Structure 1
Amino acid sequence: MPNPSVKNHLQGQTSPYLLQHVDNPVDWYPWDEEALARAQEEDKPILLSIGYSACHWCHVMAHESFEDSETAAVMNQYFINIKVDREERPDLDQIYQLAQQMLTGRPGGWPLTMFLEPIKQAPFFGGTYFPPEERHGLPGFKDLLQRVAEYFHTRREAIQSQNERLLDAFGDLDARLPAAEVEGLNRAPLQAAHRQLAQAFDSRHGGFRGAPKFPNPSSIERCLRDARGEHLTEDEKQQALTMARLTLEQMAQGGIYDQLGGGFCRYSVDEEWRIPHFEKMLYDNGQLLVLYRDAYRLWGSGLFRRILEETGHWAVREMQSPEGGYYSSLDADSEGHEGKFYVWTREQVRALLGEEEYALAARYFGLDQPANFEGYWHLYAATVPEALAQEMKVPAPGLQEQLTAAKQKLFAAREARIRPGRDDKILTAWNGLMIKGMAAAGQALAQPVFIASAERAVDFVRAHLWQKGRLLVSYKDGRAQHRGYLDDYAFLLDALLELLQVRWRDGDLSFAVDLAEAVLERFEDKAQGGFYFTADDHEILIHRPVPLMDDATPAGNGVLAWSLLRLGHLLGEVRYLKAAESTLKAAWKSIQQTPHAHCSLLKTLEEWLIPPQIVILRGGGEELETWRAVAAAEYAPRRVALAIPLEAQDLPGILGEYRPQGTAVTAYVCSGHTCSAPLTRREALKEHLATQGR
């Protein structure tokens, strides 16, 4: 056990992940000038350990190695040990994950364990999780430490040579072309991406490829948008719809979704979505709320509506701070065991429910089948309510009421358990994703609680994480820190544009313009096109990436270019449109190589080729809201609709030209460079939208 009297250099940090290690016997430092200087002065390699608080295997390695005094003594003797929260320092995580893949030829992950030379902080060896003793083909960590230390001091020339090759390889990673060299953009990558996604699609269980299976929100969104695009045949459009719907249905019915409390886990360890890696991340749930909103608009499914309601209430109940910002994640573990909070025995369920209720719940949740998680049952929807009602010969409404009652009893009992840990730092980028998700869900459901939740988060970010014209990354315990990255600006700008379509606030539009101007000033590569992940005054690291490909979150360049394109069309601001176009051209080579990995940039490409439909409503009161509902009633991914009240003043750009006609609501509809005459009848707006496409 760690000695509670021993404190290391992580004291005073706010990151819950770093503070989990403050009592380790390891002499941990945060990534700072003191640690880097000491490594150079003592000529010691740096042991860099990157993880996050909800990471199960990070906890395992901490318990096995970092809490062990003998292992810590070796670490302290031979290394300067630096612990990094990947959520606070995604710049470091991106760089060293890439380096790990280059050095080992294997995918990265967390915990990430890298050994760096002290001068340039270039890595010379690395991996992810290492066990305390040799097993499963992995060396024991303590033995590995001694071998790495010896290698560092005896093979300096080899390390230097390898580092030079590695740094050259980082330079080769930039797949951009100078924007001026790209003659034209076309729809070919949109068509190719559909073919690639269709090839990878699991036609039985939904999702892409086999286990482990991640939600891949950007890919699902691409499928939905394909169905409304102009680049596919009718058969291909139907195929895209089927891919999206099956995936969203299977996820909603699977164990990756919390069937009692709402919200999605990070991924499924099996191809059927049944057993998750139990951590819940804010970024997944924000993106999935938008997708289920779109699916609900398309199909009107009661299942999709329920997912929106339950996940939105989960976010308000468990993830929103009293101050307004959203927390980062819920741990996979409770009481030292992964998933313990979520799993059941049959006896536990039977004790809570009546006999008839239990028979119903057992069939619905798969309790009548063998245990599916380490001798316990993790709940998933083994059937659908309609089929179960037919099978049990009961009316569907009555069965649904019984199911709801059973869920409520199980949820109440689960609430009395020891909860998983919560990472309660507030991250700007992830708040942007959840603000957009809550705004989308609130609009689709006409749920003011969700819209108000999104507003509170915006107000929190603006009050605490927007300082002197710059965003900061993270907030906890009254402290905001770390200058913002590209994702912070891109995701928040995107969220503001979504929220403005749900309800109008003058301050949100001005905030969006301020974000756009700040990111253009600090992040844009004006010579080659595109945007760096770090600002122009950021700490100099071994690589300055320009992220183009989507990951668990969409690429910052894709989201930003999309947002600049929409804001540029709304305001008539040519600089924003040109920055988006330059980003597409700079990324064109990379997009053509792997189209399906660039879905957020493909969304921008699609809207660059066919400009969005802009609907501006001017009026007041309840009548304005009924017109807004008309514009938002269907799935129309290329439509931007703003309902601006009569009292809105000093509208920027061309928005000021859309004036109300007296006190009645007036609609202006523009597609590309053509605008309709002002529409003053709601039925006329419906007819116009029906004939002008979506």
Structure 2
Amino acid sequence: MTSSNREPNRLVNEKSPYLLQHAYNPVDWYPWGDEAFAKANAEDKPIFLSIGYSTCHWCHVMAKESFEDEEVADILNRYFVSIKVDREERPDIDHIYMTVCQALTGSGGWPLSIFMTPGKKPFFAGTYFPKHSRLGMTGFVDILKNTAEAWNTDKESLVEVGAKITRGISEYSRDYEETGEISEDIIRSAYNGLKSNFDDIYGGFSSQPKFPTPHNLMFLMRYFNVSKEPEALKMVEKTLQGMYNGGIFDHIGGGFCRYATDKKWLVPHFEKMLYDNAMLIIAYTECYQITKNELYKAIAYKTLDYVLRDMTDEAGGFYSAQDADSEGQEGKFYVWDPQEIKDVLGDEDGLLFCKYYGITEHGNFEGKSIPNRLYDCKVIEKDRELIEGFTKTMLEYRKGRVHPHKDDKILTGWNGLMIAAMAIAGRVFRDDRYTMASQKAFGFIKDKLIREDGRLLARYRDGEAAYLAYLDDYAYLIWGLIELYETTYDPEYLEYAIKLNSNMLKLFWDKENSGLFLYGSDGEKLIFRPKDIYDGAIPSGNSVALNNIIRLARLTGDTGLDEIANRQIGAFASEISENPNMYTYFLLSCMFTLYTDYQIVIAGKGEDNDVQEMVDMIHEMFLPLAVVLVYYPTKEHGSKLEDLAPYIKSNKPKEGKQTAYVCRHFMCMEPIMDVKELQKVLTT
């Protein structure tokens, strides 16, 4: 990507791995900031805005074809002011201009290419452009020349187009009124929408490409929980098994790739993102809770261990992503041929390994093979144990290959998702390694990404914390803290969740129309201030925040939070009802208000085995509409919990024994002191 024989541009002073990849381009890049816009105004030039991220394959392609090219650079430097943005550092900028691109072209993606006025108003948008026109695609050189000519000869028209687009996009980001309701019919409609799009052969909810969208599976598991509809769970299991069997799962090293290009989940786009793996860990762990199928536990373990091995900083934070490419080729790190396997394992063992993972002479990806389990070779159990050993051997061998680029910046929001995933896995599997990893990661964020005034920041890299945190950062981290509390029952995590939730509402809440804005009231003022509720690759900040607010209301007894949740549901209900299956995480949050939920307090004299027996039983069960507090009145953290949730003061142990207080959908039951009786109550 870079060339040491060139003078660096301004990006060399940045921390973003993506911007640094372009620091030696001949393009005179600017980071987003006042200097770039002042230059554009002073020289009366249009702006070319390029947005991407460091592990983006097509970003690499456009960089190689155009941004490293002297001819292209000469045009950009002469007629434009060029700005480069890392979408993962500035999701506010990315969201706004991606909305423009989707509105103008009907689609979007990265690299995102925007032409706009010095006043930040866009007049043309696209994604990847080849250097020269080919296969019906307009070449980047032609676009640059035509845009420069239009700016010089008819600038007023482009300025007017930019103003018109900006007005339209601002109106598109509609005002929300608190008049709607979410009903069980809308929940059912979302289920039916997923069912109608379901691939009953390979799983998933499209033909190709196929994205994991784990929150769809989380919604279906909760729908199964409340409706007992077997088809809902069947769709979940078919999809989880399909993804595992295909090449989207890294059978050698664990972890999932971004998406599959085919309907069988066989050929992935090989980049691995932290957020996908966090959400998939949760989905596999929850399905294990429901089914007790050891396969789902094993997949979750391999993914968790991949994250701890390859994606974790020594200080505890989690890295962002791994590239699809190595040595200039997509997927080279992950594919094999039979001879290489036999050279490592020997002929006989190598043949067994190749048979098990579908590694053949003709291959399934550009002459090589992506390991997969699409076709069961009926390996017997003793051979399965051998395969596990061989896989570890091949993983050690693979470590000697040239590794894909790793984006080692630490993003608060994505860390929040992985903290949640590790905490959930820690309690369900009773494995302290994952609980401790989630605690250490939060410790990293607390030390590095929370300012002295309590303001959360978005990104840490190379000793620098930067950018005011966005809604997603707050929402995802609060989610992680709630899961940490319900795993460790340390009130510190609940206290931090409450504090961050309060700060989030102050910074992001729309006082006029409800709902939460993407960036805070103290953030940079862009051409409009959007709200987002679409649950795309990952759940929206509004969807996760709603879930957090409801859970915190139940945990603390704060009815004011219930009121905020009701207002948020009312603000978005009308839009959601139009296409419910596009908002599955928002709807699974709404299930707390529509179906029987549980508020459970387990009180004990001390941290004894009887209390732990109740806690372990609860952790084994799939109780997505329950919140749990553990209360020791005589302990120091008992008084701390009383400050956070005053209602528990009356929930004391009875007769000196562990006691469970269960309230079911705002109705409280008699205290329970027997584990089996508690289990019966929670399953009827």
In 2, Cα distance between equivalents of 1:104 and 1:505: 50
Q: Partner of 1:220 in structure 2?
A: 217
Choose the corresponding residue for 1:457, options 429, 433, 441.
441
Q: What is the match of residue 392 of structure 1?
A: none
Shift of 1:171: 2.7
Query: Aligned to 1:564, which of 549, 564, 578?
Result: 549
Under a length normalisation based on structure 1, what TM-score does the superposition of the two structures give?
Answer: 0.94
Alignment deviations for residues 206-240 of structure 1 (CA, whole Å, 9 cap, x no partner): 0011111100112111111111124xxx5xx1111
CA–CA separation in structure 1 for the residues paired with 2:361 and 2:295:
23
Deviation for aligned residue 1:563:
0.6
Deviations 1:491-543 (A, max 9, x none): 11111111211112221111001111101111101221111011112111112
Which residue, 639, 648, 653 being the options, matches 2:626? 639
Tell me the amino acid that sits aligned with residue 328 of structure 1: S
AA aligned opposite 1:320: T
C-alpha distance 683-292 of structure 1, shift in aligned 2 (>3 A): same
Contact 2:458 2:470 in 1 (8 A): yes
Q: CA deviation at 1:642?
A: 2.9
Residue pair 2:336, 2:359 contacting (<8 A) in 1 also? no
CA distance in 2, matches of 1:324, 1:145: 45
Rounded to whole Å, the distance in 1 between the matches of 2:664 and 2:42 is: 63
Call closer, same or farther: CA 1:150–1:244 in 2, change over 3 Å.
same
What code does the residue aligned with 1:25 have? P
Aligned to 2:172: 173
Q: Do structure 1's residue 133 and structure 2's residue 132 form an aligned pair?
A: yes
SS of the equivalent of 1:372 reads: coil
Report deviation, 1:662: 6.5
In the alignment, structure 1 residue 573 sits paired with structure 2 residue 558: yes
Matched letter for residue 377 of structure 1: S
- The match for 1:388 among 371, 378, 381 is 378
Residues 1:535 and 2:534 aligned together: no
* Aligned position for 1:36: 37
2:630 alignment partner, SS class: strand
Structure 1 residue ranges without an equivalent (≥5):
390-395
Give me the whole-angstrom Cα distance separating, in 1, the residues matched to 2:59 and 2:170: 30
Change (3 A) 1:427 1:359: same
* Corresponding letter in the other structure for 2:159: Q
Q: Is the 8 A contact 1:51 1:58 kept in 2?
A: yes
Is 1:566–1:612's contact at 8 Å kept on the other side of the alignment? Answer: no
Q: Aligned AA for 1:27?
A: D
The partner residue of 1:522 within 507, 513, 530 is: 507
**What CA deviation, in whole Å up to 9, does each residue of 1:170-204 have, x standing for no partner?**
1332345311x34x442221011111111111111
Question: Contact (CA 8 Å) 2:485, 2:491: kept in 1 or not?
Answer: no
CA distance in 2, matches of 1:4, 1:641: 60
Distance 2:597 2:361 in 1: 50
Contact 1:289 1:308 in 2 (8 A): yes
| 1:187 and 2:188 matched | no
User: Which residue does 2:640 correspond to in 1?
Assistant: 650
In 2, Cα distance between the equivalents of 1:17 and 1:622?
51
Distance in 1 between residues matched to 2:269 and 2:631, nearest whole Å: 44
Whole-angstrom CA distance in 2 between matches of 1:171 and 1:443: 44
1:584-610 deviation per Cα after TM superposition (whole angstroms, max 9, x unaligned)? 100011111110011111112211223
Describe how 1:363-402 pairs up with structure 2 within 5 A. 363-368=355-360, 370-384=362-376, 388-389=378-379, 396-402=380-386
Q: Is the 8 A contact 2:198 2:205 kept in 1?
A: yes
1:346 aligns to 2:338 (yes or no): yes
Post-superposition offset of 1:5: 4.3
Deviations 1:361-410 (A, max 9, x none): 222211247411111111111334xx613xxxxxx330211111221121
User: Residue type of the partner of 1:20?
Assistant: Q
Residue 479 of structure 1 aligns with which residue? 464
Displacement of 1:3 = 5.3
Counterpart in 2 of 1:69?
A: 70
CA drift of 1:146 comes to 1.2
SS in 2 for 1:518: helix
| Distance in 2 (alpha carbons) for counterparts of 1:625 and 1:357 | 46
Matched position secondary structure for 2:13: coil
CA distance in 1, matches of 2:132, 2:159: 30
Contact 2:6–2:26, Cα closer than 8 Å, also in 1: no
Do the aligned residues in 2 keep the contact of 1:175 with 1:587 (CA within 8 Å)?
Answer: no
Deviation sequence 1:124-173 (CA, Å, 0-9, x none): 11211111222121222223211111112222232233223312321332
- Letter paired with 1:192: S
For 1:357 and 1:634, the matched residues in 2 are separated by 41
Q: Does 1:205 align with 2:202?
A: yes
User: Do 1:615 and 1:670's aligned partners in 2 also have CA atoms closer than 8 Å?
Assistant: yes
- The yes-or-no answer on 1:303 pairing with 2:298 is no
What aligned pairs does 1:293-692 form with structure 2 within 5 A after superposition? Answer: 293-368=285-360, 370-384=362-376, 388-389=378-379, 396-467=380-451, 468-610=453-595, 612-619=597-604, 620-645=607-632, 647=635, 648=637, 649-651=639-641, 652-653=644-645, 654-661=647-654, 664-691=657-684
- CA deviations on 1:450-495 (whole Å, 9 max, x unpaired) are 1100110111111111111211000011111100110011111111
Call closer, same or farther: CA 1:449–1:80 in 2, change over 3 Å. same
Alignment partners' CA distance in 2, 1:44 and 1:531 = 35
Distance 2:612 2:461 in 1: 37
SS at match of 1:470: coil
CA distance in 2, matches of 1:402, 1:355: 14
Say which is worse superposed, 284-293 or 349-358, in terms of deviation.
349-358
* Alignment-mate amino acid for residue 259 of structure 1: H
| TM-aligned CA distance change 1:171 to 1:356, over 3 Å | same
SS at structure 1 position matched to 2:176: coil
Q: 1:101 touches 1:108 (CA, 8 Å); kept in 2? A: yes
Q: Is the counterpart of residue 273 in structure 1 residue 273 in structure 2?
A: no
Contact 2:457 2:465 in 1 (8 A): yes
**What is the SS of the residue equivalent to 1:214?**
coil
Q: Is the 8 A contact 2:116 2:162 kept in 1?
A: no
Question: AA paired with 2:103?
Answer: M
1:75·1:81 contact (CA, 8 Å) conserved in 2?
A: yes
Note closer, same or farther for the CA distance 1:111–1:31 as it changes in structure 2 (3 Å cut).
same
> Aligned-pair distance for 1:664?
3.1
How far has the Cα of 1:665 moved from its partner? 2.1
Name stretches of at least 5 consecutive residues in structure 2 with no aligned partner.
Answer: none
CA contact (8 A) 2:281 2:303 kept: yes
Q: Distance in 2 between matches of 1:382 and 1:603?
A: 31
Structure 2 Cα separation of the partners of residues 130 and 601 of structure 1: 35
Q: 1:440 Cα deviation (Å)?
A: 1.4
Whether the 8 Å contact between 1:217 and 1:288 is mirrored in structure 2 is yes
Partner of 1:83: 84
CA distance in 1, matches of 2:71, 2:277: 41
3-state SS of paired residue (1:229): helix
Give 1:259 shift: 0.2
Take 2:408 and 2:575, find their aligned partners in 1: how far apart are those partners? 37
Distance 1:281 1:303 in 2: 22
Structure 2 Cα separation of the partners of residues 326 and 371 of structure 1: 34
Q: Is the 8 A contact 2:122 2:166 kept in 1?
A: no
Check whether the contact 1:176–1:590 (CA below 8 A) recurs between aligned residues. no
Of 475-484 and 613-622, deviating more is 613-622
Q: In structure 2, what is the Cα distance between the partners aligned to 1:171 and 1:26?
A: 32
Contact 1:570 1:655 in 2 (8 A): no
What residue number does 1:57 align with? 58
Q: TM-score, normalised by structure 2?
A: 0.96
